[in-house]
Chains A and B, each alone.
Chain A
Amino acid sequence: DQQVKQNSPSLSVQEGRISILNCDYTNSMFDYFLWYKKYPAEGPTFLISISSIKDKNEDGRFTVFLNKSAKHLSLHIVPSQPGDSAVYFCAASYHGGSQGNLIFGKGTKLSVKP
């Protein structure tokens, strides 16, 4: 049973536009959420995180939004750049507001076209 779901396996966006990657979760105990980016032959790279006490966290071009009532989070990338092309994993954990072991979604492959 997949507790973290990324229902779009792929997304294609034009350079300069906004990329929106979505993630849904089923376990209401999750209290910390993270986005990782993964290039081929490399390990996941931490991008941005959000605690369940917040509904938005911003870091440069990356913003994560959390809707707890809908058990939904999204990652916005503005503006998108060709170098952003990668697989993006949503991950969640529950440890009283910190991060324990991570439960990952299956990933969304983002392609940013010049």
Chain B
Amino acid sequence: AAGVIQSPRHLIKEKRETATLKCYPIPRHDTVYWYQQGPGQDPQFLISFYEKMQSDKGSIPDRFSAQQFSDYHSELNMSSLELGDSALYFCASSPREFGTQYFGPGTRLLVL
């Protein structure tokens, strides 16, 4: 069965650079969630979209922005990267708002 696709799987950036993470949800899923998992930490909710509209917002820094496109894929844009942004970034999709969330494999971001 098709799963959530995230790209890239690994990314190395330097401080103050920008990064764009992409998420392709499971077909016919209209809701996307972004989570950040720091080393040894639990995943922390960043932001979610339902039907291309932002539906909820968590602990997402102002330096980050995200959107969901007409084909339901989502992009997380991160600017002025800091060392503390180094983490695993997970995207999850669900077949409806408030449905069970299915996670992608994650993007590991390293900021040097």
Give residues in A with beta carbon < 8 Å to B.
4, 34, 36, 41-46, 49, 89, 95, 98-107
| Majority secondary structure, A binding face | loop
Within the complex, which residue of B4, B98, B103 is in contact with A100, where a contact is CB–CB below 8 Å? B98
Q: Which residue of A lies closest to B47 (CB)?
A: A101
**A42 close to B45 (CB less than 8 A):** no
Task: Give Cα A101 to B103, complex, Å.
Answer: 13
Q: How far is the CA of A36 from the CA of B90 in the complex (A)?
A: 13
> CB within 8 Å of A: which residues of B?
4, 6, 33, 35, 40-45, 48, 56, 58, 90, 92, 94, 97-106
Which residues does chain B contribute within 8 Å of A103, judged by CB atoms? 45
Nearest chain B residue, comparing its CB with the CB of A96 = B98
Q: A95-B98, A101-B56, A101-B58 are in contact. Are A43 and B42 (CB under 8 A)?
A: no
Does B103 lie within 8 Å of A107, measured CB to CB? Answer: no
Instruction: Give the docked Cα–Cα distance between A45 and B104 (Å).
Output: 9
Least CB distance, A5 to chain B, in whole angstroms: 10
* A106 and B42 contact, Cβ closer than 8 Å, known pairs A42-B105, A43-B105: yes
